[in-house]
Amino acid sequence: MANNGTALAENKLQSKKLTGHKLTWNTIVKQKQLIFMSVPMLIYILIFSYVPIWGWLMAFQNYKPAKGFFEQKWVGLQNFKYLFKDENFIRDFRNTICMSFINLILSYVTAIILALLLNEIKNVFFKRTVQTVSYLPHFLSWVIVTGIVATSLSTEGGIVNILFMKLGIIDSPINWLSEGKYFWGIVGATNVWKELGWNTIIYLGAITAIDPALYEAAGLDGAGRFRKMWHVTLPGIKATFVVLLIMSIGHVMEAGFEIQYLLGKGPVLDWSETIDIYVIKYGINQFNYSLATAAGIFKSVIAIIMLFIANNVAKRLGEERLI
Amino acid sequence: MMLKKRNWLVALLAGLMSISFVLSGCGGSDSSSSSTSTSGSATATGSAAEKLDPIEISFFITDPGQAPTPDNKIYKKIKEELGVSINWEFLVGDKNQKIGVLIAGGEYPDVITMSSDIISKFVGAGALVPLEDIIDKSAPNLKKHYEPYKNKVKDVTDGHFYVMPDYGVYYNDFSINVNEGPAFFIQKAVLKDAGYPKVKTLDQYFDLIEKYKAKNPTIDGQPTIGFEVLSEGWRDFCLKNPPQHLIGHPNDGGVVVDSETNTAEFFWDKDYAKRYYKKLNEINAKGLLDPESFTMNYDQYMAKLSSGRVLGMFDQHWNFSNAELTLKTQKKDERTYAPLPLVFDEGIQDYYMDRPVLNVNTGYAITKSAKDPERIIKFFDALLTEKWQKILGWGIEGEDYMVDDQGMYYMTPEQRVNYNDQTWRLGNMAHTLWYYAPKMEGTFEDGNATSPGGQPKEYFDALSDYDKEFLKAYGYDQQSDFFSPAPENRISYPAWQIDLVDGSPASLANTKVGDIATKYLPKAILAKPDKFDSVWEEYVNQLHKEDIQAYIDRINEQLAWRAENWK
In DSSP notation, B46-86 reads -PPPPP---EEEEEEESS---PPPTT-HHHHHHHHHH-EEE
Q: What is the pLDDT of residue A320?
A: 66
**Which comes out higher in pLDDT, residue A201 or A319?**
A201
Nearest to A66 among B12, B125, B518 (CB): B125
Model confidence at A43: pLDDT above 90: yes
Q: What is the pLDDT of residue A15?
A: 47
Average pLDDT for residues B320-330, to the nearest whole number?
88
B512 contact residues in A (CB cutoff 8 A): 88
Nearest residue on chain B to A261, alpha-carbon basis: B233
Q: What is the pLDDT of residue A13?
A: 46
Nearest to B18 among A137, A147, A286 (CB): A147
Average pLDDT for residues B113-141, to the nearest whole number?
91
| Beta carbons of A288 and B502 less than 8 Å apart | yes
Give pLDDT tens digits for B232-288: 888 899 999 999 999 999 999 889 999 889 999 999 999 999 999 999 999 999 999
Nearest to A148 among B12, B104, B232 (CB): B12
| Beta carbons of B515 and A269 less than 8 Å apart | yes
Give pLDDT tens digits for A228-286: 989 999 998 988 888 888 888 888 888 888 899 988 887 888 899 999 999 988 888 77
pLDDT bucket at A72, cuts 50 / 70 / 90: confident
| Beta carbons of B15 and A151 less than 8 Å apart | yes
State the smallest CA–CA distance between residue B15 and chain A in angstroms: 5
Nearest-angstrom CA–CA distance, B210 and B256: 30
| Beta carbons of B96 and A269 less than 8 Å apart | no
pLDDT bucket at B112, cuts 50 / 70 / 90: very high
Q: What is the pLDDT of residue B228?
A: 95
Q: What is the pLDDT of residue B139?
A: 94
Nearest residue on chain A to B522, alpha-carbon basis: A267
Average pLDDT for residues B369-373, to the nearest whole number?
93
Nearest to A133 among B5, B96, B515 (CB): B5
In this structure, which amino acid lies at residue B311? Answer: L
| Beta carbons of A282 and B511 less than 8 Å apart | yes
Nearest residue on chain A to B515, alpha-carbon basis: A266
Residues of chain B above pLDDT 90, percent? 61
Residues 283-312, chain B: which have Cβ within 8 Å of A?
291-292, 294-297, 300
Nearest-angstrom CA–CA distance, A14 and B115: 66
Model confidence at B29: pLDDT above 70: no
Model confidence at A18: pLDDT above 80: no
Sign of CA dihedral A140, A143, A145, A148: negative
Is residue A150 within 8 A of residue B9, CB to CB? The reply is no
Q: What is the pLDDT of residue B45?
A: 42
Residues of chain A above pLDDT 70, percent? 92
Lowest-pLDDT range of A24-33, A211-220, B364-373: A24-33
Q: What is the pLDDT of residue B43?
A: 39
Residues 478-517, chain B: which have Cβ within 8 Å of A?
502-503, 507-508, 511-512, 515
Is residue A238 within 8 A of residue A200, CB to CB? The reply is no
| Beta carbons of A159 and B10 less than 8 Å apart | yes
Model confidence at A16: pLDDT above 70: no
Average pLDDT for residues A91-100, to the nearest whole number?
93
Q: What is the pLDDT of residue B488?
A: 85
State the smallest CA–CA distance between residue B198 and chain A in angstroms: 33
pLDDT bucket at A223, cuts 50 / 70 / 90: confident
Q: Where are the alpha helices (DSSP H) in B475-531?
A: 505-526
| Beta carbons of B526 and A286 less than 8 Å apart | no
Mutate one of A114, A118, A287, A288 to test the B interface: name it (highest B CB count within 10 A): A287
Mutate one of A130, A286, A290, A293 to test the B interface: name it (highest B CB count within 10 A): A286
Q: What is the pLDDT of residue B543?
A: 95
Nearest-angstrom CA–CA distance, B51 and B82: 6
Model confidence at B445: pLDDT above 80: yes
| Beta carbons of B100 and A267 less than 8 Å apart | no
Q: What is the pLDDT of residue B497?
A: 83
Looking at mean pLDDT, say which of A300-309, B183-192, B295-304, B510-519 comes out highest: B183-192
Nearest-angstrom CA–CA distance, A250 and A304: 7
Nearest to B121 among A156, A267, A287 (CB): A287
B510 contact residues in A (CB cutoff 8 A): none
What is the three-state SS of B127-158?
Answer: CECCCHHHHHHHCHHHHHHHHHHCCCCECCCC
| Beta carbons of A66 and B15 less than 8 Å apart | no
As a residue count, chain B comes to 567
B128 contact residues in A (CB cutoff 8 A): none
Q: What is the pLDDT of residue A21?
A: 61
B523 contact residues in A (CB cutoff 8 A): 267
Q: What is the pLDDT of residue B354?
A: 87
How remote is the C-alpha of B250 from its chain's centroid?
15
Q: What is the pLDDT of residue B3?
A: 39
Q: What is the DSSP letter of B348?
A: S
B4 contact residues in A (CB cutoff 8 A): 133-134
Nearest-angstrom CA–CA distance, A119 and A208: 9
> Tell me, what's the ipTM?
0.73
How many Cβ atoms are within 10 Å of B214's Cβ, its own excluded? 12
Nearest-angstrom CA–CA distance, B367 and B279: 50
| Beta carbons of B519 and A267 less than 8 Å apart | yes
Q: What is the pLDDT of residue A323?
A: 64
**Paired residues of B185 in beta bridges:** B313, B339
Q: What is the pLDDT of residue A315?
A: 84
Sign of CA dihedral A242, A246, A251, A255: positive
Lowest-pLDDT range of A133-142, B68-77, B96-105: B96-105
Nearest to B502 among A177, A262, A287 (CB): A287
| Beta carbons of B103 and A286 less than 8 Å apart | no
Residues 197-226, chain B: which have Cβ within 8 Å of A?
222-223
Residues of chain B above pLDDT 70, percent? 91
Q: What is the pLDDT of residue A311?
A: 86
| Whole-number average pLDDT of chain B | 87
Average pLDDT for residues A195-202, to the nearest whole number?
91
A177 contact residues in B (CB cutoff 8 A): 292, 295
Lowest-pLDDT range of A112-126, A138-152, A239-253, B381-395: A239-253
| Beta carbons of A286 and B100 less than 8 Å apart | no
CB pairs under 8 A between A and B: 111
Model confidence at B459: pLDDT above 70: yes
**Which comes out higher in pLDDT, residue A113 or B34?**
A113
| Beta carbons of B97 and A284 less than 8 Å apart | yes
Model confidence at B293: pLDDT above 50: yes
Q: What is the pLDDT of residue A319?
A: 67
Is residue B246 within 8 A of residue B343, CB to CB? The reply is yes
Q: What is the pLDDT of residue B1?
A: 35
Nearest-angstrom CA–CA distance, A321 and A244: 10
pLDDT bucket at B23, cuts 50 / 70 / 90: very low
Lowest-pLDDT range of A24-28, B500-504, B560-564: B500-504
B106 contact residues in A (CB cutoff 8 A): 66
State the smallest CA–CA distance between residue B7 and chain A in angstroms: 8
Nearest to A177 among B231, B295, B512 (CB): B295
pLDDT bucket at B289, cuts 50 / 70 / 90: very high
Nearest to B502 among A147, A151, A286 (CB): A286
pLDDT bucket at B489, cuts 50 / 70 / 90: confident
State the smallest CA–CA distance between residue A318 and chain B in angstroms: 38
